[in-house]
Chains A and B, each alone.
Chain A
Amino acid sequence: AQKVTQAQTEISVVEKEDVTLDCVYETRDTTYYLFWYKQPPSGELVFLIRRNSFDEQNEISGRYSWNFQKSTSSFNFTITASQVVDSAVYFCALSEPEETSGSRLTFGEGTQLTVNP
């Protein structure tokens, strides 16, 4: 069975600080996909990144960066120079492709990030 753990329930930082959100996953498959989503107060989940298990290259997108390490089953997310607009709940998710289409996402419990001015 697959499982995603986001041990940090809540994180509070001051604007311009860097912050890292942790994500640890469990799966028995060798092929899988990892995702991060952002849920602002409005409620809609916004897709941030998708990474497959064969691509361990770290990725940077503006102030966002992701560190994927298969050896520790982690897919951590760092926000550099945080801003108030980054305040949201962030979800890490795992998906295993299936023989027929319809792959399902397993979500972590989410991390509430609050960035204070």
Chain B
Amino acid sequence: SQTIHQWPATLVQPVGSPLSLECTVEGTSNPNLYWYRQAAGRGLQLLFYSVGIGQISSEVPQNLSASRPQDRQFILSSKKLLLSDSGFYLCAWATRVLRSTDTQYFGPGTRLTVL
């Protein structure tokens, strides 16, 4: 069966510091991978998605970047954190299906607080 891991689970960082959040998936190959952010309140905003190694699509221009160095690894980074980067970051994976949609399955999330 497939599992998705995220770490760290929680993180407190000062403004201006760098960030690296990691997401890995087990039990599947060639998945689509996604990063979402959930700010205080509720809604989920798609930040990045990837359909393959080195292929990153950005949904919202901002202080963050993403990379996919391996098939089942997705990394969210920042060079200098802003207060507005605080939130709950969720990684998700889905089976790659051309011209269709498969279900996205989410990881446990990382709660980031920028002080």
Interface positions of A (Cβ within 8 A of B): 33, 35, 37, 42-47, 50, 89, 91, 95-105, 107-110, 112
B40 CB within 8 Å of chain A: no
User: B46–A105 contact, CB under 8 A?
Assistant: yes
Q: Give the B interface residue count (CB, 8 A).
A: 31
CB pair A99 B99 closer than 8 Å: yes
Interface of A, secondary structure class, is loop
- Tell me the minimal C-beta distance from A10 to chain B in angstroms: 10
Q: Which residues of B contact A101 (CB under 8 A)?
A: 32, 51, 96-99
Contact B88 A43 (CB under 8 A): yes
Can you give 7 contacting A-B residue pairs, CB < 8 Å?
A35-B103, A45-B106, A97-B99, A97-B100, A103-B101, A105-B34, A105-B46
Q: Mark B30-42, 1 if CB is under 8 A from A, else 0.
A: 0010100000011
